[in-house]
Amino acid sequence: MSFLFPFALFGLLAIPALIIIYILRNKYKEETAPSTYIWEMAAKLLKRKNPLSRFEHLLALIVQCLAIAVFSVALAHPVFTLEGQADDIVFILDSSSSMGMVHEEKTRFERGIELIKEKADEAVNGSTFTLILAEKEPRLVCQNVDDISSFDIMLTGLGEPSKYETSLADSIALAQTLYSEGKANLCYLATDQDCESDVLTNIEWLDCSDDEENYSITDLKYKVENGKITFDAVLSSYASDKDIEVMFYMNGIEMAKKTYRCEKGVHYAISTDPLPTGGKPVESVKAVITNLTDGLMDDNSFTVFANTQQVNTKALVVSANETYLKAIFDERL
C-alpha cells in the first residue's frame, strides 16, 4: 500500500495531543446538595442503572481518536497494489533536445524507449499502458492499451525528440492526475534530467543519461527601444557546472559576447545590456555558445527572424449580389 498524499498522515499527531488534553482536563464538577447521604445514594443508583457510565469518557476518547485516524488516512489517499495482479501503468518519456544526444551509437531518446519497453515486457498479463510524451505541451500518445504488441508499435513510431526544451512539470502533473483518479497505479519517468534530488511522488525514475556534456540555449527574445536592442535568452548546462560564453548577433553581425556561470540542471534567464542598432531594422537575431563543444551541437544556437514580411494573398469572390461585390471593392479602395 502507498499513499498519494503522505503528508496528510501528519494529522495523526492530533491523537496524542487529544490524549494529553483528556489526562489534564478536570473531570470533577462542584455541586451543591442538601445532604451528602442522598447524593451518595443517587450516585450508586445511577451506576447500577448504567454500568457503562464509568467508561463514558474513555469511550468518547477512543471514538475521537478513531475519527482522527480515519480522516487522516482518507486525506492521504491510500492506494493498494496487489502482488501478481495486473497494473495500470503510465509512462512519461522526455522529448527535450538533450534526449537527442548520441552515446554508443544510440540517442538518449532511444535509450528511454528501450527502458520503457523493458518495464512493459515485465508487466503482468492484462496490464494496461498509457504513454505521455513530454513536449512543450504534454501529448497523450495512447491510453489504457492492453496489447503489448500495439504498445511497442506506438513506441517505435515516436520518431525523434524535439529540438527545443520541454518542461516535465505538466507531464508529471498529468500522470499524477491519472494516479489520483484511480486510472493508474504505477508511473515511470524516462528522462536524462537528474531526478534524484526531486520529489517524484509515486513515480519511478528511468535514467537515460550518460557521461556526455551538454549545454543549450532553449529560448531567445529581443526588444528594441530608443534605437537599442536587448537580448534575452535561457541558458542551460545539463551535466556539470560550467562557465558558458555566448555570442549575440543581429542581422548576422556580432553585437556582444558574454560569459555566464551555469550550474548543473538549472535553467538561467540571461540578458544583455542595451546595444545600439545603428539605426538598422532588425531582420534576425541569434545567440551561439562559442567556447564549448558537447555531444549535441544542434541546441548550441538559437535564431529568431523578425516577422516583417508582408503577406499578399489572392481570393476568388463569386456572388450574384452586386451590392455585396461593390461593398468589398469599396472597402479595399
pLDDT in tens, 89-131: 999 999 887 788 877 788 889 999 999 999 999 988 889 999 9
Beta strand spans in the chain (E): 2-3, 78-79, 88-94, 128-134, 138-145, 186-191, 204-207, 215-225, 228-237, 242-250, 253-262, 267-271, 275-276, 284-289, 301-305
Split at pLDDT 50, 70, 90, the class of 291 is confident
Q: Report CA 102 to chain centroid distance, whole Å.
A: 26
Please give the pLDDT value at position 202. 76
Highest mean pLDDT among 22-26, 50-54, 125-129: 125-129
Domains and CATH numbers, the chain: 2-79 (no CATH), 88-207 (3.40.50.410), 215-305 (2.60.40.10)
What is the average pLDDT across 1-7? 69
Please give the pLDDT value at position 100. 82
Give me the phi and psi of 149, to 5 degrees please. -65, -45
Give me the phi and psi of 203, to 5 degrees please. -125, 130
Beta bridge partners of 247: 257, 288
Residue 77 above 90 pLDDT? no
Q: What percent of the chain has pLDDT over 70?
A: 74
Task: Report pLDDT digits (tens) over 78-92.
Answer: 766 555 568 899 999
Residue 323 above 70 pLDDT? no
Residue 332 above 50 pLDDT? no
Beta strand spans in 135-214 (E): 138-145, 186-191, 204-207
Split at pLDDT 50, 70, 90, the class of 329 is low
Q: Which residue has the higher pLDDT, 86 or 228?
A: 228
Closest C-alpha to 178, from 221, 239, 128, 119 = 128
Please give the pLDDT value at position 286. 94
Total count of residues recorded for the chain: 333
The DSSP-derived string for 39-53 is HHHHHHHHHHH-GGG
Q: Are 92 and 134 in contact (CB under 8 A)?
A: yes
* Sign of the alpha-carbon torsion through 69, 187, 86, 178: positive
Conformation bin of residue 143: beta by default, left when phi > 0, alpha when psi is -120 to 50:
beta
Q: Which residue has the higher pLDDT, 292 or 253?
A: 253
Split at pLDDT 50, 70, 90, the class of 331 is very low
Residue 257 above 50 pLDDT? yes
Residue 49 above 60 pLDDT? no
Residue 316 above 80 pLDDT? no
Beta bridge partners of 130: 90
Please give the pLDDT value at position 265. 73
